[in-house]
Every structure is written in C-alpha cells, then in structure tokens.
Amino acid sequence: MTEPDVTPKSRVWVEINLDTIERNFHHIQEAVKPLQVLAVLKANAYGLGVEKIAERLNRAGAAGFCVAELKEALPLVKFGKPVQILGAVLDYEIPEAVRNHIILGITDLEVARKISMESVRQGVTTEVQLKVDTGMGRLGILEPDVLHVAKEVVKLPNLDLKGIYTHFPIAYHGADRYSFAQAARFLGIIEKLAQHGIVLEKRHIANSDAINNCPFACVPPFTHVRAGINLHGSFDTEGQRALKLEPVLSLKTYLVAVRTLPAGHTIGYGCTCKLFRDTRVGTIAAGYADGLPLNLSNRGYVLVKGRLCPILGRLSMDYTTISLDSFEEGEVKPGEIVTCIGGEGADRITVEDWAQIKGTHSYDIICSFGTRVERVCVTDH
C-alpha cells in the first residue's frame, strides 16, 4: 500500500515512490559493479522534483550527481558528493561553479583557460574532466584534438584533470557497429593519453540505454555509469530492457463530473467523437496543460476504480472526457480519484504506453508534466 506523505492540494498530482527509486538504484549498481553509479538529475530530476530524489539516492550510495547547468548543481552541493555539470559551461556560471567545487567538463581549450583563471583568482583547485565527442555530434573535443587539449590542460594552474567521458547517441541499438566503434575509439583515446603520461582516474561512457544494451560499456577500465531514466524505472522505447526495474510514478487526478449524454451528442473541441448511444460520460480534471499528450484523444485510457475507461474526444487544456459506460448508475461519483498513469497488473498504464501513442520517448513524457502538477513523494509502508 502506498500512501502519499502529504495530501495533494492540486487537481493533478504525480506520486513518486522513493523506495522504488532506491530499489532501481540498487539494481543498477548491482548490474554494473565494480563500476559506480552517478545519478543524472538534470532538469529537476527529469521534472519529478530533485530535492527528495537526491536525498534518497545520496543515502542509497550514489557516487555523485550529474546535472546540465549551474542552477541545478548548487542545491546538490550540500550532500557532500561530487556534483558534475555534464554539458557546456557558460562564462557567467564559472565563478559560482568554481566557488562551489562543481566538477566541470572541458569541451575546448578556451573554457579550460577561463576555469583555470577563475580558480587562480579564487585560490582554489577545480576538478575538470575532458568531454570528448566520439559520435554524439553535440559537444566536446573531437578525437584528433584530445591529446593536444589534454597536454595543455595539465599545464594550466589550479586545474585537477581527473576524468574523461563521452556519450552514446544510439546505445539502444546495443553492440552495433556505431556504439561499439565509439567505445573502442574512446578506449583508444584513454590509452593514448596514458602513453603520454596523462592517466585519468575517472572514465565513463554509459547512460541507461548502454547499461541495458552495451555490456562492453559497463566494465573496467570504465569506472562509472551515468544513470538517469532507469532510476525512474523507464526505458527508451527501442532497445532491450536487460534490467528488471519498476516504474516509480503514478499520475492521478479527480473525476469532476458524471453525466449521461444522449445518442448523437458530440464531445470536445473539433467534435471528433459522436456518441452512437446514450453514454455515461465522466470528465476528469487533467488535460494537456498537465502533460497528457493530445494524442491520447479518442485513443488513450485512464483507470477508474482499477477499470480501464477509454478517452472520448479531444483532450482540452484542463479537462479530459472518458466513458464510464462500464459502471452502473451511481457506482462512480465526482471526487473519485482517477489514475492516468499507474495501476496494477495487465491494466497498468505506463509512461512507455503514452510514449508509444505520442510517437516519442519516455523522457519526453516524464519531463512534460505541467507546472501545476504537484509532485508528491510516497513510500512503500
């Protein structure tokens, strides 16, 4: 039985089970040991609320936290674990990042010089890691330049060059030529640096897709994996799911109206649904502003009293209409809690179900819950 720690004060809320997150973390840790797990908590822990999730993962034994930018890094410093900005560092972020001992990625020599200068100015040493582009095509030092950049970085004052990392764009394809070649090139770079006396203690490449599909990326000489979506029990819609992880979230709302509409009545904007018989129709207090994909219109389901109820018509911003025809008169009333994602057994509605209907991936679904959706942490007890 899962009970919210606090009573939701919103029409729509997402319940995040911290015990499940912790179990998922331990599964990942077990699967990749002796490598350590860095928890990727960017974008407010993928929109689920970073504070409590970080607190739990810190206790569970995460080796550190990875984020996208300074604003996300600062609240994590208090846990006393390494906090790393994975992507580009902007000029205005450098002084505060250095002051707070955030680990910074070196994407080119110029940024390394700026971080060094600021570290000298503050009289501190900053840990940096080389961010190498082995095939993502987004950010980082290209293979032919890595040795030169590394040799320059080690000469710069007040920098401690401790690590190197790169990122897979299609790890869900598994050990295909692309990811395998990327890992091989990356290992070649590490080896070449070592031959020139630059031995880097932290070496990482694997994200969730790689943890499930690329065993070669989760063994020494790599030292860490960077896990994000797997912590939430979600996977890319493509690729295999080697780990047995549990979904951590349920999205819930209230039924606000139950009415019987006559045959011939249409439902919602665009009149995309016309009733062919008198139908018991429910209206729930969640719409696309809360993160329900518009593609659920006339296609998706929600759970009322554990029973799947089809969505009728087009979703609107604040409301969605459903068929309650499978219930007897008076069996469900306004105020009933409705599960949009969650539930048990075969009728469970998952993040991946929505991703499939929307033609997207689970990251997009989780990151799209609206700002008025309350994030409520729950536990198993």
Ligand X SMILES: Cc1ncc(COP(=O)(O)O)c(C=O)c1O
Contact residues: ligand X, CB under 6 A: 40, 86, 167, 207-209, 226-230
Give the residue numbers annotated as catalytic, written as ranges: 42, 269
- Of 207 and 250, the one with the shorter C-beta distance to ligand X is 207
- Of 86 and 376, the one with the shorter C-beta distance to ligand X is 86
Q: Which position has the token pair 């599960």? A: 339
Taking the complex as a whole, how short is the minimal distance between the CB of residue 205 and ligand X, in angstroms? 9
- Of 66 and 281, the one with the shorter C-beta distance to ligand X is 66
Beta bridge partners, 249, equal 16
Q: Residue 125 and residue 98: Cα distance in Å, rounded?
A: 8
- Of 207 and 213, the one with the shorter C-beta distance to ligand X is 207
> Measured at the alpha carbon of residue 26, what is the angle toward residues 21 and 31, in degrees to the nearest 5?
125
Taking the complex as a whole, how short is the minimal distance between the CB of residue 263 and ligand X, in angstroms? 48
- Of 132 and 322, the one with the shorter C-beta distance to ligand X is 132
Report the residue closest to ligand X, judged by CB.
228
Residues 303-341: b if buried by 16+ CB within 10 A, e if exposed: bbeeebbbbbbbbbebbbbbbbbebeeeebeeebebbbb
Q: Residue 91 and residue 80: Cα distance in Å, rounded?
A: 25
Q: Residue 95 and residue 93: Cα distance in Å, rounded?
A: 6
Taking the complex as a whole, how short is the minimal distance between the CB of residue 45 and ligand X, in angstroms? 11
Which residue type is seen at 381? H
